[in-house]
Chains A and B, each alone.
Chain A
């Protein structure tokens, strides 16, 4: 927040010299705030009269009532007799399910395409450029409808495509083989996560020691022990089974495995491809922002290519990449609300149904806004922390 004034004004006592400038400032502020308050009061009083005329009670009491709406595709257990509050929670889980997986996939795909655009292979870089240009210049909603139509045009379950054994693509969506996850499996995975955290702590201390005496200390044995061996040992001791469940065609539908509904799959494809085009541009300009001399200097030191990329080029490129990447992640999350157009029930779609059933427009829209503001703040917070970590540390 820079002001137009080059120097901070000297502190004055409150009733001290209120000069003409301060008075002018005070007048403008009072005017603007007055207008804003007047507009809000006007809208508010209209709303109150309208609501009482329509006999709609304000407040969030309706959240305790039975929702009665079906939700076809959800991560969490839900049935129509549950409350509106639980329906909202299911909707938030569905939004996050698209957003989180979408962000991961879009980052991977976007990075690959961004790197392809810089390839020395003319054909590859042209193809990547065409991909980016076409996807960026067509509305996301149109792409989403297009993917959804293609999904519906796929053959029926009996004639499903099988690109790989155990994977079925049909108008029922995408069916993948999966490992059923229960509490014993979660325990093993939890051990692995704890192992990862412990490994990171150990690695940092090893690097710190190396900084002090210059002796390299390899960290990989710790990694192998904590992330691979320890969870495996826990798994063997408890006798946890890791059988893969293969989907089977029974009658007109599939049994077993992991099923991605066509709505979810279409939304995911649309979000990932669309966002990856923007991410590709960010990655490309980030890598191009690293001065040529850095490549030359690294080559002159005789460093291996992979080492050079990992230790010299990418850390510098990341400084340029991370801030715009944050806004792409936020865009992807906000764009997941287009789900309402194809009937995937994310939080916006569920809020919209609630609004139509109860007439609680203000509350439903306030809830949508609260959910998205929370998610946005969460993503911003994480990315800002990451950005601070990789920022240029100048002396």
Chain B
């Protein structure tokens, strides 16, 4: 355990006279500050070199990058020695868009681009105004039109043909867009003076947070038809979406409640003194401050949702992970699932990593 013990010594190292080569100085301070530390560095370097070398050998040197269409013989030849990246160009349209009609796949692609543009715009502090809500409504409506079609000369594509990345983004974004207002209402309900409303909110939050999302999704896929009058049936994707909205609402409510608790009492009193009604007080004074307090944890909650949408695989909805898993069923390519999983993991990673960096930059700016 040389780890922690060197922490308080850092200032002492910094007080030493700065002589010699700066590179050597850095090496000395950061890698060889003591004998055990030096040994640790050497061991880690050896392990790292072996791991990186092995991975490069498998993933680059011995890998197969391209094969003729639907021919995996070259891949099978290097099996176990090299990666078969050729499966990605072979299957990428299916992994990204599922069974969406092949000639119409520009529509989900454009939807994905719209989603990304929407996220990027939402990160701009200058745009955090009421107009942003209208922008969201407009963008989500446009995406619905693109995906469904049936108007403006676009052919109609039913929901069961949707798949891949757009489905993952739809589940996460609509879950957020509807879960957020729900979360605000429940958070206010939990802090209300009215006992009936308070206990209902508490019951809802604790019940949803206490059970796994998988069981909620089972409920949506199995029990929903039982709940509805005979002959009234909702599409499977929408049922999962409702489950995710309810799930998101409970978790967001807890985060927002934390923000509400951080608003000083004087703010409430001042709003009361101005004679604002309850709703105007919340909308104009309390909520803006509360939400500003909890933006970093909110972003972390979004990351969690984005990952959790992959659970719809279990009830057979074609999101990005399900299309990936389905792509490997093809007997010719069955043995190359690791490569597909790495590809899909990279897509998830890019989205989540961008969000987590953003959350960290927000924390840094608000800490100042």
Q: Which residue, of A5, A139, A295, A369, has the highest number of chain B Cβ atoms within 10 A?
A: A139
B226 near A120: Cβ-Cβ < 8 Å = no
Identify which of A65-73, A82-90, A129-137, A244-252 touches chain B. Answer: A129-137
- Nearest CB on A from B162, distance (A): 19
A287 to B8, CA, bound (A): 12
Question: Does A296 sit at the interface, judged by CB under 8 A?
Answer: yes
Q: How many residues of A contact B (CB 8 A)?
A: 70
Question: Does A202 sit at the interface, judged by CB under 8 A?
Answer: no
Chain B positions within 8 Å of A340 at CB level: 214, 314
Least CB separation from A48: chain B residue: B226
Q: Which residue, of B198, B212, B325, B344, has the highest number of chain A Cβ atoms within 10 A?
A: B212
B4 near A287: Cβ-Cβ < 8 Å = yes
Question: Does B228 sit at the interface, judged by CB under 8 A?
Answer: yes
A298 to B284, CA, bound (A): 49
Chain A positions within 8 Å of B30 at CB level: 120-123
- Nearest CB on B from A174, distance (A): 20
A142 near B344: Cβ-Cβ < 8 Å = yes
Q: Which residue, of A140, A149, A376, has the highest number of chain B Cβ atoms within 10 A?
A: A149
Least CB separation from B45: chain A residue: A123
Chain B positions within 8 Å of A337 at CB level: 212, 214-215
- A interface majority secondary structure: helix
Chain A positions within 8 Å of B348 at CB level: 137-139, 142
- B interface majority secondary structure: helix
A140 to B348, CA, bound (A): 11
B193 near A348: Cβ-Cβ < 8 Å = no
Question: Does B99 sit at the interface, judged by CB under 8 A?
Answer: no
Question: What per-residue 1/0 map shows which CB atoms of B38-49 lie under 8 Å from chain A?
Answer: 001100110010
Question: Does A127 sit at the interface, judged by CB under 8 A?
Answer: yes
- Nearest CB on A from B256, distance (A): 15
- Nearest CB on B from A43, distance (A): 5
Given A29-B194, A124-B40, A337-B212, the answer on whether A140 and B222 have CB atoms closer than 8 Å is no
Q: Kindly identify which residue among B5, B218, B341 contacts A142, using a CB–CB cutoff of 8 Å.
A: B341
- Nearest CB on B from A395, distance (A): 25
- Nearest CB on A from B117, distance (A): 21
Chain A positions within 8 Å of B193 at CB level: 3-5, 25
A43 to B307, CA, bound (A): 31
- Nearest CB on B from A318, distance (A): 15
Given A121-B30, A121-B40, the answer on whether A51 and B349 have CB atoms closer than 8 Å is no
- Footprint of A on B, CB under 8 Å? 1-10, 30-31, 33, 37, 40-41, 44-45, 48, 190-198, 200, 207, 210-215, 218-219, 222-223, 225-230, 261, 265, 268-269, 303, 307-308, 310-311, 313-314, 321, 325, 337-338, 341, 344-345, 348-349, 352-353, 356
- Footprint of B on A, CB under 8 Å? 1-6, 25, 28-29, 32-33, 36, 43, 46-47, 49-51, 53, 115-116, 118-124, 127, 133-134, 136-143, 145-146, 149-150, 153, 287, 292, 295-296, 299, 305, 309, 313, 334-335, 337-338, 340-341, 348, 352, 355, 361-362, 365, 368-369, 372-373, 376-377
Pairs of residues from A and B, 10 with the lowest C-beta to C-beta distance, nearest first: A120-B6, A122-B30, A137-B352, A337-B212, A119-B3, A139-B307, A334-B212, A139-B310, A29-B196, A295-B8
Q: Can you name 19 A-B residue pairings with CB atoms under 8 Å?
A: A3-B192, A6-B265, A46-B227, A46-B229, A120-B10, A121-B30, A121-B31, A137-B352, A140-B307, A142-B344, A142-B348, A309-B4, A337-B212, A348-B214, A361-B223, A368-B212, A368-B218, A369-B210, A376-B210
